[in-house]
Amino acid sequence: METAHKKKNNQLLWLLGLMPLLLLAGMIAVISTWGTGVKEEQAAPIEVLNIERIILTDDGFEVRILNSGPKEVTVAQVVVDGAFWNASYVPSATIERLGSSTVFIPYPWVEGDPHEIKLITSNGLIFIGDVVAAMKTPAADANRFLQYSLIGFYVGVIPVGLGLLWYPFMRRFSSRGIQAVMAFTVGLLFFLVVDTIQEGLELGAAAPGVFQGTGLVWFGALLSFLFLLAIDQSSSKRAEKGNDNGKRVSFKIAGGIGLHNLGEGLAIGAAFAAGEAALGTFLIVGFTLHNITEGIGIAAPLLKAKPTIKTFLALAVLGGGPAIIGTWIGGFVFNQTLAALFFGIGAGAIIQVIYVISKMVVRDAKTEGTPSVSWPNFSGLVLGVLVMYGTALLVNF
């Protein structure tokens, strides 16, 4: 008897929980069927076409477009460099909401020249895509894949590995000197997190508005920070019992920096895919010099440990290897929305590492009986920011 009564109460509880959702579904059904009662005509059609990528082939242009508006859109005409031009569409010229299509335009483009492509919808709205300097888009073949791999290796793994070579020199520092190096690491990471968020917001603003790209940056940063913090706290007791705490922190730093370097690879790959080889080469040189200092930050938590050669190799690959993946993505399948999310996740990871290292500095200072914000520590932090800022100028100018 009691079991049946309890079962009946559970069913009633579930019904009460589902009732708001059932009422909401009913209200939406009523509005969809009979409308809101407002009969005013819309002043202008709302159409949004995002030109995601323009690919240059021997036969002309391939324009990949996305309908991010509230209604279906039909591309009625194509204008290239001021002249109406024939085009074919796959799968169709009419694109459903959040659907995509590819416009094939047989146009004799001229290498090195700028070109302008206008897509005119059936309602007369115009959407423009620009080719700054025409160059055939690289094909995703094995040779190009290998070239991008080498570029990512030069930009990421090698400079991070060279930075790790400062480890024997830093081992000679006193306890206060090690604290200053840790503060220097915080300065490096502080610059990287600001730079990562800024890059992510720029990509998010350029992404289709329906995906809220700038919001993805902040969501990704917050959730990745909390996720990594939860992992760190859940394993903190186990870490305290062992002697690998410095090694764990170094791998966290390498992981956060690796996500940042993935973004650098995106920029380089996208530059080469767009035919801007000079810009791509300039970015390679700038990022390589910029990333050498990252190895110092990765090695800093190991100054009281006894790492092996395998540990340094693993840190170099973890910190620099994502640049290879980023170059692949940027060169072959660049997507602004996903890139914005990646930058947000990377920023959150770096913030979590800053939090962990700051705790280490405060703990070591307390053990030594010195202030955590001493002049050496403050100077180290400022120097870290200035070094990253100075090397970043090599990329931006």
Note whether 214 and 66 are same-domain residues: no
For residue 44, pLDDT beyond 60: no
Note whether 120 and 101 are same-domain residues: yes
Distances (CA, A) of 178 to 23, 182, 357, 373, 376: 63, 6, 12, 14, 10
Q: What is the predicted pLDDT for the residue at 2?
A: 58
Note whether 282 and 317 are same-domain residues: yes
Q: What percent of the chain has pLDDT over 90?
A: 33
The band of 39, judged by pLDDT with boundaries at 50, 70 and 90, is low
Highest mean pLDDT: which of 110-124, 274-288, 327-341?
110-124
Q: What is the predicted pLDDT for the residue at 74?
A: 95
Note whether 226 and 351 are same-domain residues: yes
In a domain, 16, yes or no: no
| Structure token pair of residue 302 | 């190991």
Q: What percent of the chain has pLDDT over 70?
A: 89
Write out the E strands in the chain.
49-57, 60-67, 73-80, 83-85, 88-90, 94-95, 100-105, 115-121, 126-131
For residue 31, pLDDT beyond 80: no
Note whether 298 and 383 are same-domain residues: yes
Note whether 240 and 358 are same-domain residues: yes
pLDDT (average), residues 338-349: 87
pLDDT, tens only, 4-24: 666 777 777 887 788 888 888
Q: Residue with structure tokens 């483009």?
A: 109
Q: What is the predicted pLDDT for the residue at 330?
A: 83
131, 159, 190 - which closes a domain: 131
In a domain, 179, yes or no: yes
Note whether 59 and 170 are same-domain residues: no
Rounded Cα–Cα distance for residues 262 and 339 (Å): 10
Average per-residue pLDDT in the chain? 85
Note whether 282 and 381 are same-domain residues: yes
Q: What angle do CA 308, 309, 315 make, to 5 degrees?
A: 95
Q: What angle do CA 343, 328, 211 make, to 5 degrees?
A: 40
Record the pTM: 0.78
For residue 266, pLDDT beyond 60: yes
Q: HSE of 56 in the Cβ direction (CA atoms, 13 Å)?
A: 24
pLDDT, tens only, 344-385: 888 888 898 889 889 888 988 888 888 988 999 999 999 989
Q: What is the predicted pLDDT for the residue at 275?
A: 61
Which of 342-379 are b and which e, b meaning 16 or more Cβ less than 10 Å from the residue's Cβ? Answer: bbbbbbbbbbbbbebbbebbeebbeeeeeebebebbee
Provide the domain count of the chain.
Answer: 2
pLDDT (average), residues 314-328: 92
pLDDT, tens only, 127-185: 999 988 888 887 778 888 998 999 889 889 999 999 999 899 888 888 888 889 989 98
pLDDT, tens only, 66-121: 998 888 999 999 999 999 999 999 999 999 998 999 999 999 999 889 999 999 99
Note whether 200 and 326 are same-domain residues: yes
In a domain, 181, yes or no: yes
Note whether 54 and 198 are same-domain residues: no
Distances (CA, A) of 42 to 47, 76, 153, 186: 12, 21, 54, 54
Which domain, by its residues, includes 62? 49-131
pLDDT (average), residues 193-211: 88
Rounded Cα–Cα distance for residues 88 and 96 (Å): 17
Note whether 208 and 159 are same-domain residues: yes
